Amino acid sequence: MNLHLHFILVNSEFNQGIADDLNEGQESEDNIKYLWEDELKVSEPVKEFKIRNNAIYTLAGHFPDDKEFSFEIWDMTIVDCLTVNEKSMQFAVSKKSLKKTEKIVNEETDETHLYFYLKDSFPLENPMEGVYIIKQDFPKELKNKQ
């Protein structure tokens, strides 16, 4: 199956009543529903995926001086994917930032779309594609290195 992930930042100031009254229910230039959207397609067909809530995500990599780092981020929603070529991938979002989630499956095209609607009340860090961590939970050691 082809797996698409959509990360959408919801504008808390959007007013559906104004949209209904002035713009046939649609957003307008002065009344925007979503501030941004990132869409990712997993690079190869996915054999299976699992969503874990209240999970611990390990953010790992290398500092500019090539020294390794690894930090545990708590209270995350994680999508674990296994591709048909046995490649493991993870995507993660801070649970506190989630307004709602949605899954849409199209069996005819063998596609699944996962939507993560994010609250704009929590500033986010996006250290890599498909990973959104609220700033207060982002490792201070990494903030200093950026």
| Torsions phi, psi for 96 (to 5 deg) | -60, -25
Give the C-alpha separation, 72 to 11, whole Å: 29
pLDDT at residue number 28: 86
Interval 6-58: pLDDT, tens = 999 999 998 888 888 888 888 888 889 999 999 999 999 999 999 999 999 99
- For the segment 86-122, what is each residue's pLDDT rounded down to a tens digit? 999 999 999 999 999 999 999 999 999 999 999 999 9
Specify the 3-state DSSP secondary structure of 33.
Answer: coil
The radius of gyration of the chain from alpha carbons, rounded to an integer in Å, stands at: 17
Burial of residue 14 (number of CB atoms within 10 Å: 0-12, 13-18, 19+): middle
Rounded to whole angstroms, the Cα distance separating 60 from 94 reads 16
Q: Is the pLDDT of residue 146 over 60?
A: no
Domain boundaries, the chain: 2-145
User: So what's the pLDDT on residue 144?
Assistant: 63
